[in-house]
A = this chain, B = another copy of it.
Amino acid sequence: MSAQPRLVEVRQNVLKQNDIVARELRQRFHEAGTFVVSLVSSPGSGKTAFLEKTLTLLRPNYRVAALVGDLATDNDAVRLARSQAPVKQITTGTLCHLEAAMVRDALNEWNLDELDFLFIENVGNLVCPSSYDVGENLRLVLLSVTEGEDKPLKYPTIFNTSDLAVLTKMDLADAVEFDMTAADSNVQRVRPGMPVLKVSAKSGAGMSEWLQFLTSAHVELRVSRLSRA
């Protein structure tokens, strides 16, 4: 355990460096009028299915793109590309989170001015991504009903650094006897006031509410840029 304090110190430098890059990214996103949403969750919570559905529903009316992080494989990029939106895979090797610099590098060939929405799907992990700002406007934490109601209490930091909780796989809620009241109250305990959205990418339930949320957020972003100009 003796090496631990030095590890903490070095990690703090990495985080500081990350925050600088994230701030630059956020400025670029704002100038381009791109609304940026990041998605975090444990592996298998349904991030990719939810995102594929979101891209497909937005694409007729908005210019959308996605970056997707994984340790290995480009399976998720292949799945998301079925939505016809531009998608890029970031493979992190053994790293359990995305960093702002990876996002910056992956965006090199894209023109942000041509994007209304950019989605960033993080590596499946309820711990590591919590400390890394990637310049997003909105961070979603997804939790599938099959994972259990206690996850907000057991992984408080990731819930505490998110803006919106999304309960996924609602079509399975009855089969797993999911206790919605307990889940809601656990979310509120770690992040008072955080809205909780209930969706099923399979049945489509809750998706129109989510789209409405996104498009209002986009309008607000455009208005805030106009009033600034």
A residues in contact (CB < 8 Å) with B: 1-4, 6-7, 10-11, 13-14, 17, 42-44, 70-73, 75-76, 94, 96, 99, 101, 123-128, 131, 144, 146-148, 150-151, 153-157, 169, 172, 175-176
Contacts and interface: CB of A to CB of B under 8 A. Distances in A.
A125 B94 CA distance: 13
How many copies of this kind of chain does the complex include? 2
B96 A154 contact: no
Contacts of A96: 96, 125, 127-128
Contacts of A151: 43-44
A68 to B, nearest CB: 11
Contacts of A70: 154
Contacts of A169: 146
B99 A154 contact: no
